[in-house]
Amino acid sequence: MTEMVYGTIPVRDVEPVLPKWWRTIDKWSMTCILTLFGVGILLGLAASPPLAAKNGFEHFHYVQRQAIFGGVAMVAMMITSMMNPNLVRRLAVLGFLAAFVALMLLPVFGTDFGKGAVRWYSLGFASLQPSEFLKPGFVVVAAWMMAANHEINGPPGMSWSFILAVVIVAFLAMQPDFGQASLVLFGWGVMFFVAGAPMILLLSIAGLVVVAGSFAYNNSEHFARRIDGFLNPDVDPTTQLGYATNAIREGGFFGVGVGEGQVKWSLPDAHTDFIIAVAAEEYGLILVLIIIALYAFIVVRSLMRLMRERDPFIRLAGTGLACMFGVQAMINMGVAVRLLPAKGMTLPFVSYGGSSVIASGIAVGMLLAFTRTRPQGEIGDILRGRGR
């Protein structure tokens, strides 16, 4: 009778945060992520000493820095994964706005560190790459817009997300950073497809991408040089791609042995963009396959858990984060084996880089937060109910 008059009494969730987090988190994916970070430290021990000696630092200077950056990333991942989806969304919006402003100010305050692309802020003790932090924030913001589009009297979120993606891609292309631009566009495209976009619209957007690529090839020397190098059947053995190709070939199935690799002495980016070449040379195809399996497991398992999710925002954001994570790894390894043009993209949790590993920690923390077990019915129950 009391409930009929005053309504039901809400039941407070009194379970402590840590036990609830441990009970609901995807432990298998988290284990794979920690394993990837451990592999990155292992490969850093092999790849970074030559660069440290060249720059006058201690033998394991870059390994120590990677361990510090990785520690911060792991803490950020754990804290983010403990949040509920609404809190993740709020913080992601704030982070996205901050990263977007930093991206716009790069032409004024940024630096290229002699690499021909203004992508970083020099902080003295380290560097900051805004695009790394922009990606996970953009995925969450775009997913929020797309989910709102399907609400009754909701805003035109699909159109807003497309305009936002185009603006971000334009700023990235100005750096130029076509690798990150393509990754942002891919992440948006996956979410757009999952949100129910018509195939004709997706094909039209793909056509626009081809037109934009042709324009960039004809008007950007940086872009044209990388495409021409990729299409050239002859690989210059004195280039980074040449060294990486030779290292992978020399490694064979079992590798040449720990510490016996030579590519790290020739490749200036052996500890970052071409870390997989060091793995292939010293540890062979076995370690490379293990690394690929770890990335594939994280992506596939996350998507399988998201398939049971009823909340469209969580489903879209989680799908975008998982696919972007996997494709970034695929692009990095594809460049090393010359299946893709050079992109200057790191291997998540394995390559050296403060911005990359910390941003990856935040992004994967969001993904773990979205894939946590929640009290809800299966989405299949809803679909079966509609079919009755």
Report CA torsion sign: 17, 19, 25, 31. Answer: positive
Alpha-helix runs per DSSP H in 60-116? 61-81, 85-104, 106-109
| Range with lowest mean pLDDT among 72-81, 268-277, 326-335 | 268-277
pLDDT band of residue 376 (cuts 50, 70, 90) is low
The DSSP secondary-structure symbol of 342 reads -
CB under 8 A, 24+ apart: contacts of 111-117: 115/344, 116/222, 117/175, 117/176, 117/177, 117/222, 117/344
Gyration radius from the chain CA atoms: 22
pLDDT tens string 242-260? 778 788 888 888 888 877 7
Closest CA to 47 of 251, 265, 248: 265
Predicted structure pTM score = 0.87
For the chain, the maximum distance between any two Cα atoms, rounded to a whole number of angstroms, is 84
Question: In the predicted model, what is the mean pLDDT of residues 182-187?
Answer: 91
pLDDT at residue 222, rounded to an integer? 64
Spatial CB neighbours of 228, under 8 Å, sequence gap ≥ 6: none
Write the CB contacts of 250 (distance below 8 Å, at least 6 apart in sequence).
256, 262, 281
State the pLDDT at residue 111.
86
Per cent of the chain over pLDDT 70 is 88
At 231 the pLDDT is: 67
| 296 exposure class (CB count in 10 Å sphere: 0-12, 13-18, 19+) | middle
21-25, 187-191, 262-266: the lowest-pLDDT one: 262-266
Q: How far is Cα 360 from Cα 350, in angstroms, rounded to an integer? A: 10
Task: Grade residue 3 by pLDDT with cuts at 50, 70 and 90.
Answer: very low
- Mean pLDDT in residue range 189-202: 84
Domain boundaries, the chain: 26-372
Q: 112-160: per-residue pLDDT in tens?
A: 877 777 888 888 777 889 999 999 999 999 999 999 988 888 888 888 9
Q: What is the pLDDT of residues 94-113, one digit of tens each?
A: 999 999 999 999 988 888 87
